[in-house]
Structure 1
Amino acid sequence: MKKKFIDEPGQMKLLIVVDKLLTGFDAPSCTYLYIDKQMRDHGLFQAICRVNRLDGDDKEYGYIVDYKDLFKSLEGAVQDYTSGALDGFDAEDVKGLLEDRVGKARENLEDAREAVKALCEPVDPARDSVAYLRYFCAKESGNAAQLKENEPKRLKLYKLTASLLRAYAAIASEMAEAGYSEKDIATIKAEVDHYAKVRDEVKLSSGDYIDLKAYEPAMRHLIDTYIRADDSEKISVFDDLTLIQLIVERGPDAVDALPSGIKKSEEAVAETIENNVRKLIINESPVDPAYYDKMSKLLDALIEQRRKGVVSYVEYLVKIANLARQAAVPGGDGPGYPAAINTPALRALFNNLQNYSLDLAVAIDAAIKASLQAGWRENSMKVKKVRLAIRHVLATAIPPDSGLSVSEPDVAPVTPLTWKKKPTSSWNWPSSSTMTIEASSTAVKRISVSGIPVEVVRKDIKNLHLGVYPPLGRVRVAAPLVVNDEAVRLAVIDKLGWIKRQRAKFAKQPRQSEREMVNGESHYFLGRRYRLRVHEQEGVARVALRGVASMDLFVRPGSSVEKREAVLLDWHRASLRSIIADLLVHWQPKLGVQTADWGIKKMKTKWGSCNVNARRIWLNLELAKKPVQCPGVHRGA
């Protein structure tokens, strides 16, 4: 029972326990804990930790459903637990272990809304079905390259819409308690409904619903329960049949099964069918390349006729239905082939062997059948036997003077054998001097995501790095050279909620006004605040501390603000250099390392940097204002 709950959560969704499994039971998929018994302190703390295991991207936290009004006891359990086994930690270390569910649910909902809106920001302002299909599928319906290129955007749409649906479902019955007005509640429900419909239409139009079928029942349950149920029956048709299968069965009447958003636009209907036929052709092409190349050309011609208005909408539906029927059967359904070519495998061989079609196709088919053994696909020796049989037929069937030869590509054993023409002349390969390698680039490019300016720097790195920097919340992405702007935008959208929270934190932080270097100003040194006292006099400019509250700055009469600031910075640099030197003397022997060089400079985004190979350390001059215990100083040491 325990194993099934852990390994097959879909088959056992509820496990009722009394005393067992409340400690040490690790089931990552466990998300809800329903408490209906009195519990206290250590036992209570251990029990609530059963739902804090991560389980993929969809589970960020667990839920505690309290039937015994133990919430105050929960707080007490955390306090007692940290004062016992975890007494070495500050209260701040365990802050956030328990959070307000409704507040967190609202935050998640707002993040999900923001992300899906940002993703759809570039969609044509019409925001109708055709606009969404052209943005997420293909501007030119049936264009295989565009369908493939836009696949990351579609996958992001499915992911973000699923997150939006789950976030809405988690708070749908408590929207008012979460602080939403009646108008807000209606607006949000309409948004969720809108994006759920967009998801359905894009998924159907692109043909992706075939690959995502396993996930569909759970999503539709959320839609039916919290949004609407009117389109559910229509969408559910595609759980059992593909759109192509529906067209083959019903012909033009299959259009009636499409979602209302697509069905009301002839353009959207045509583009949906064309994209699905194109995907079928692409998927089946390896089985019979010659036949599906013919199907592809027929589809191109029909799309061109529709766009030019050569055929009416009704005629178009009849023709596309006929084409779909032909494409649904690899090699066609039989008519037009010689009598001996009577199976799909023979038709595929016949179509692709050109001038050696009939006899060679039959010979190869017979050789394959004679050499096949049970489980041959998973056994390399059995695969080799089939390949040798094919090679023997080809070697004996192809005349020596035909200009053709049999070649065996360096690929996996299950890949079909190929044959090619002998080269009649040598190839002139490009010399190494004509080849170029793109060098690293640190040029900054700026893009905008949901109104937030983002700096993009491309470097010779493997992973994408995103940061939000003080004081104003500047957003910067360091991306690999091969990652394009759209991929960067999608990555930023994933973290949009987090980015906005970080920027909000920076905006709330108290700011020190621009320093004018006059009497009475506050200045910091080693974590302590000092009042500045400016003394104008002849002599060497210098800084001196008076007691624990005053900082004396001695400058020549008439010195500018810049000059006064430069004197203070020089003093900071000298003081920090002395402190760091002592720290290095103390820590280098203990750590068993020796720096070759180190220095101090002004840095915008970090406390320091370390070049391990060169054994060189740079430290931020701002550390002079921080306590000696500052992590940056320790890092430098």
Structure 2
Amino acid sequence: MAKRYKDAKDELKLVIVRDMWLTGFDCPSMHTMYVDKPMGGHNLMQAIARVNRVFHDKPGGRVVDYLGLADALKRALASYTASGGKGKATVDQAEAIAVLLEKYEVVRDLFHGFDYAPIVKAPAVERMTGIAQAMEFILGLEDGKKRYLQAVTVLSKAFALAVPHEEALAIRDEVGLFQEIRASLVKATVSDSEKSPEEMETAIRQLVSRAVSSTEVVDIFAAAGLDKPDISILSDEFLAEVRQLPQRNLALELLRKLLGDEIKTRMRKNVVQARSFAEMLEEAINKYQNRAIEAAEVIEELIKLAKEMREAQKRGENLGLNDDEIAFYDALEVNDSAVKLLGDDTLKLIAQELVNSVKRSVSVDWTKRENARAQIRVMVKRILKKYGYPPDMQAKATELVLEQATVLCKEWSVE
């Protein structure tokens, strides 16, 4: 068990320990220790040392104290630094404070020209409005989002190592605000694939959660003055509200994230459609980043894309096809010559037969077995040939159908 627990990639993440894992046990990746056993002196220092190790992006450890060991820890630290600890604590507080104040100034400098002071202790409604304005300011800076996210992450690590020093506590409300703004930026603008590893973000938040004053998590839509939308619908009313937002950069990033998340959802059902929309989204954003169009123009392009995505949801219904069938239909329709030669009715028949045949033939692990993939490939080619699908495009259509079958198989396996 000890060997498994030391492996950061192993699924074993939680162990209840009575004793014996203090002396000589080393697990740098361990980030949290829950203590409900009275300890003091050398034993307490040993216990904390097990978790308080630097590991990759992990700056230190976290001890969750159920018994009130703070006084015992202070006595142990005093004894440790006076004798057996070679005269110096694991984290030099003076050094930690110096680093904290340096990183604090980096974040403050990003807000040069924006007065965030009124937001720090503002009531909830004013705070939400202020956070939206702060986000708009950061998004308006050159590479502002990336610089801000990185700066606050580094500040949070420094803060975690500096508390409970009085100089750290003196700025905790500001650090808390910076983190709220960061969390709102991530929530509003960063797709899952772009986020930092969840373990790092969680570790940082947990490290500072007790030191930073707790406030309600900001709902970015409420902060922007919007009703939270039904993402799958993207109604005209919501899009109109986005168009009227005074914070243009925030409106752009909101749309970018909403559309990106919707595309990711569709990728699990319809590869061809999702890929097409992803290319359109990327093209619009690239034009904006290259300064070919202004924020207002790219917002209009994204609103247009949102409406096209909404209309695309109705295509299957209009063609008399279910979600699985329209996904295969889209894979076949990529070939313009096939559309002209065969027409909608024949393509619909092919799509329906493909769904029925593939669904009957695939197994859970078919994508991992080459012989199973080969059988499906032969079956697809046979169906395409049966309906007279243009031979010059059969290979591409077959690969698209196989790719589509791969994602749908995951959906079918849970039905």
1:162 aligns with 2:153: yes
Tell me which of the two structures has the higher relative contact order, counting C-alpha pairs closer than 8 angstroms and 6 or more residues apart: 2
Counterpart in the other structure of 2:383: 393
| Matching residue's letter, 1:208 | S
* Residue in 2 that maps onto 1:174: 165
Q: Which amino acid aligns with 1:165?
A: S
1:73-88 equivalences under 5 Å are 73-74=79-80, 75-78=82-85
Cα distance between partner residues in 2 of 1:266 and 1:207: 17
The one-letter code matched in structure 2 to 1:67 is: A
Q: Which whole-Å CA distance do the structure 1 matches of 2:72 and 2:221 have between them?
A: 37
CA distance in 2 between counterparts of 1:263 and 1:231 reads: 26
Deviation digits for residues 329-350 of structure 1 (CA, Å, limit 9, x no counterpart): 5xx4633214688744344345
3-state DSSP class of the match of 2:56?
Answer: coil
1:273 offset after TM fit, Å? Answer: 3.4
Aligned to 1:27: 27
Which of residues 374, 383, 395 in structure 2 aligns to 1:407?
A: 395
- Look up the match of 1:289: 272
Instruction: Return closer, same or farther for 1:271/1:390 CA change in 2, 3 Å cut-off.
Output: same
* 8 Å contact kept, 2:335–2:393: no
In terms of fraction of residues, the more helix-rich structure is 2
Which amino acid in the other structure matches residue 159 of structure 2?
Answer: Y
2:319 is paired with a residue of what secondary structure? coil
Matches within 5 A, 1:201-240: 201-208=184-191, 212=195, 226-227=211-212, 229-232=214-217, 234=219
Work out which of the residue numbers 372, 376, 381 in structure 2 matches 1:382: 372
Distance apart, 1:232 and its partner CA: 0.7
Q: Give CA-to-partner distance per residue, 1:535-569, whole Å, 9 cap, x none.
A: xxxxxxxxxxxxxxxxxxxxxxxxxxxxxxxxxxx
Is 2:101 the partner of 1:110?
A: yes
SS at match of 2:316: coil
Structure 2: give runs of 5+ residues left out of the alignment. Answer: 64-68, 116-132, 223-227, 406-415
* Deviation digits for residues 168-201 of structure 1 (CA, Å, limit 9, x no counterpart): 355454324x6x8xxxx35x632x2453244234
Q: Is the 8 A contact 2:191 2:261 kept in 1?
A: no
| Map of 1:189 onto structure 2 | 173
1:19-418 paired onto structure 2 within 5 Å: 20-28=20-28, 29=30, 49-51=49-51, 53-60=53-60, 67=72, 69-71=75-77, 73-74=79-80, 75-78=82-85, 98-99=89-90, 101-113=92-104, 116=107, 120=110, 128-135=134-141, 154=146, 157-176=148-167, 185-186=170-171, 189-190=173-174, 192-208=175-191, 212=195, 226-227=211-212, 229-232=214-217, 234=219, 245-246=230-231, 248=233, 252=237, 265-280=246-261, 283=264, 284=266, 287-289=270-272, 293=276, 307=296, 322-323=307-308, 325-326=310-311, 329=313, 332=314, 334-338=316-320, 343-349=325-331, 351-354=333-336, 355=339, 356=342, 357-398=347-388, 404-407=392-395, 415=403
Structure 2 length-normalised TM: 0.59
Deviation at 1:27, TM superposition (A): 2.8
Q: Is the 8 A contact 1:165 1:223 kept in 2?
A: yes
Instruction: In structure 2, give the amino acid aligned to 1:334.
Output: G
The DSSP-based 3-state class of the residue aligned with 1:334 is helix
Residue type of the partner of 1:55?
F
Moved more, 22-31 or 291-300: 291-300
Amino acid at match of 1:203: V
User: How many Å separate the matches in 2 of 1:282 and 1:246?
Assistant: 11
What is the CA distance between 1:32 and its match in structure 2?
A: 6.6
Tell me, yes or no, if the aligned pair for 1:129 and 1:198 is still in contact at 8 Å.
Answer: yes
Check whether the contact 1:112–1:163 (CA below 8 A) recurs between aligned residues: yes
CA contact (8 A) 2:52 2:62 kept: yes
| Separation in 2, partners of 1:415, 1:309 | 32
SS of match in other structure, 1:105? helix
Q: CA RMSD in A?
A: 5.6
Aligned partners of 2:366 and 2:373 also within 8 Å: yes
The answer on whether the counterparts of 1:161 and 1:195 sit within 8 Å (CA) in structure 2 is yes
CA drift of 1:309 comes to 12
Is this contact kept in 1: 2:4–2:12, CA < 8 A? yes
Distance in 1 (CA, whole Å) between partners of 2:221 and 2:259 is 23
Distance 2:274 2:34 in 1: 57
What is the number of equivalent residue pairs in this alignment? 351
Q: Alpha-carbon deviations, 1:420-463, whole Å to 9, x = none?
A: xxxxxxxxxxxxxxxxxxxxxxxxxxxxxxxxxxxxxxxxxxxx
Distance 1:214 1:263 in 2: 34
Instruction: Provide closer, same or farther for how the CA distance between residues 65 and 225 of structure 1 changes in structure 2, counting only shifts above 3 A.
Output: closer
The separation in 2 between residues aligned to 1:44 and 1:224, in whole angstroms, is: 22
Change (3 A) 1:412 1:344: closer
8 Å contact kept, 2:54–2:60? yes
2:120 corresponding residue in structure 1: none
Structure with greater proportional strand content? 1
For 2:220 and 2:373, the matched residues in 1 are separated by 42
Q: Is the 1:326–1:333 Cα contact (8 Å) retained in structure 2?
A: yes
Distance in 2, Cα, partners of 1:230 & 1:202: 17
- Residues 32 and 62 in structure 1, CA contact (< 8 A), matched pair in contact too: yes
SS in 1 for 2:23: coil
In the TM superposition, what is the alpha-carbon distance from 1:395 to its structure 2 partner? 3.8
Asked which structure has the greater CA Rg, the reply is 1
SS of 2:159's partner is: helix
Percent identical residues: 16
Distance between the aligned counterparts of 2:244 and 2:216, measured in 1?
A: 12
Deviation track 1:106-138 (CA, whole Å, cap 9, x = no partner) reads 1342353356568x59x998994334335578x
* Counterpart residue type for residue 72 of structure 2: Y
* Correspondence for 1:536: none
For residues 323 and 40 of structure 2, the distance between their equivalents in structure 1, rounded to whole angstroms, comes to 76
> Hey, what's the Cα distance between the residues in 2 that align with 1:116 and 1:10?
34
Q: Distance in 2 between matches of 1:370 and 1:280?
A: 31
Deviation at 1:415, TM superposition (A): 4.5
Q: 1:380-409 deviations in whole A, cap 9, x for unaligned?
A: 22122111211222344446xx57254379
CA distance in 1, matches of 2:304, 2:368: 42
Residue number in structure 2 paired with 1:444: none
1:376-525 correspondence to structure 2 within 5 Å: 376-398=366-388, 404-407=392-395, 415=403
Q: Describe the SS at the equivalent of 1:345.
A: helix
CA distance in 2, matches of 1:31, 1:340: 48
State how far apart, in whole Å, the 2-side matches of 1:197 and 1:38 are. Answer: 36
Give the Å deviation of 1:279. 1.9
